[in-house]
A and B are shown apart, each in its own frame.
Chain A
Amino acid sequence: MSREQRSLEWTPLLFSGGLAFLLFTLFIATMFGEPPMRAGAMIQQAGGVELGAANLVTAVVLGYRGLDTLGELAILFASATAVGLVLSTQNGESDKQASVFPDKIFLGEIFESASRLLMPLLLLLGFYIIIHGHLTPGGGFQGGVILAIALFLPALARSGEIPLNHATIRLVEGGAGTLFILIGLMALMQGESFLQPLLQPGEIGALFSAGSLPLLYLAVGLKVGAELAALLVHLSGESA
């Protein structure tokens, strides 16, 4: 038996040990509800009043830690670009054989009809989650992923038919990223910090509240959706 095989056999044991440790800490060692943090209580008190966001997670993600969110977007952009780069060089060498959908396989009436029915509903759900990000759980990232899946579903069902072409996806992605940074820069021009929330907080719980946070989340959602849709299209090997 080679060394590689032996180390492969050790992997499940290592994993089981790690999970047992996780279970141990989960049920015995962790004190739930007593986190050793100092900023949390202050944010919980001030977040709703200062920013007008009913969902405190959004207040933290976009209001207090907007720069980190920009960093997350940058990481996502870098990884999606890297995948696109690697896959596009592969596409140049091997021709149409690399595609997931070789010759228009018909996946069945049920799947195709269901995808046609589900796509608008998924789009609606995605936009709902993005727009209500400051009110209910969820937001730009979750809604954006749902948008990407909604855009990719017809491609999966109808063997490579993408409802949007590549230029449109790139345009939406670039525009959304620019919007995010522009909102941040506008705060800078008004003498505040970068990505400081603008506009009036408004009434907590109203759809048009929390100042510029919904706009930021809309930018995040569109960017994530466009990015991941492009990534999925790349991975499926279609040059749409």
Chain B
Amino acid sequence: MVESIESWIALLLVGVMLSAALVALLSRSHLVAVVSVSVLSLGLTLLFVLLKAPDVAMTEGVVGAGLSSLILALALSRLGLLRSTKAGATDE
């Protein structure tokens, strides 16, 4: 089933992605959820590289890991759900 080094790397990546997804689902903080979704996208990017699809990997890295987390973070801050400790300290 698992014979080459690529398969082991893929297995490791999928493990990282799975734990990132679980963190995103279970975490209380919205910011942590956004960051872990970004980590999941980064793992998916490396998986695409491993599968020899550099175009798809590039799209996933730029859109999934970069832009969509930026959009999510901006949306959270518009909704007033983004609370980092520093911003909370300066607000009060």
Contact = CB atoms under 8 A, between A and B. Distances in A.
Query: Do A and B interact?
Result: yes
B58 interface: yes
A12 B62 contact: no
Contact of A236 (B10, B66, B67, B74): B74
A98 B10 CA distance: 43
Contact of A57 (B55, B62, B67, B71): B55
B26 A12 contact: yes
B42 to A, nearest CB: 15
A235 B75 contact: yes
A146 B75 CA distance: 20
Given A12-B26, A15-B25, A145-B62, A139 B55 contact: yes
Given A11-B25, A16-B22, A232-B70, 11 more contacts: A19-B21, A26-B10, A27-B11, A55-B55, A100-B78, A129-B58, A138-B55, A138-B58, A149-B70, A231-B71, A235-B75
Contacts of B59: 141-142
Most buried by A among B63, B66, B74: B74
A15 B66 contact: no
A228 interface: yes
A191 B22 CA distance: 55
Contact size class for A? Answer: 20 to 34
B11 to A, nearest CB: 8
Given A142-B59, A149-B70, A232-B71, A23 B14 contact: yes
Contact of A28 (B1, B11, B22, B66): B1
Nearest to A22: B14
Main SS at interface, chain B: helix
A237 interface: yes
Interface of A: 11-12, 15-16, 19, 23, 26-28, 32, 55, 57, 98, 100, 105, 129, 137-139, 141-142, 145-146, 148-149, 152, 228, 231-232, 235-237
B77 A100 contact: yes
A149 B67 contact: yes
Contact of A145 (B11, B25, B66, B78): B66
Contact of B63 (A12, A129, A145, A231): A145
B63 to A, nearest CB: 6
Interface string B60-90: 0011001100110011011000000000001
A142 B58 contact: yes
Given A100-B77, A235-B78, A236-B74, A12 B22 contact: yes
Contacts of B21: 15, 19
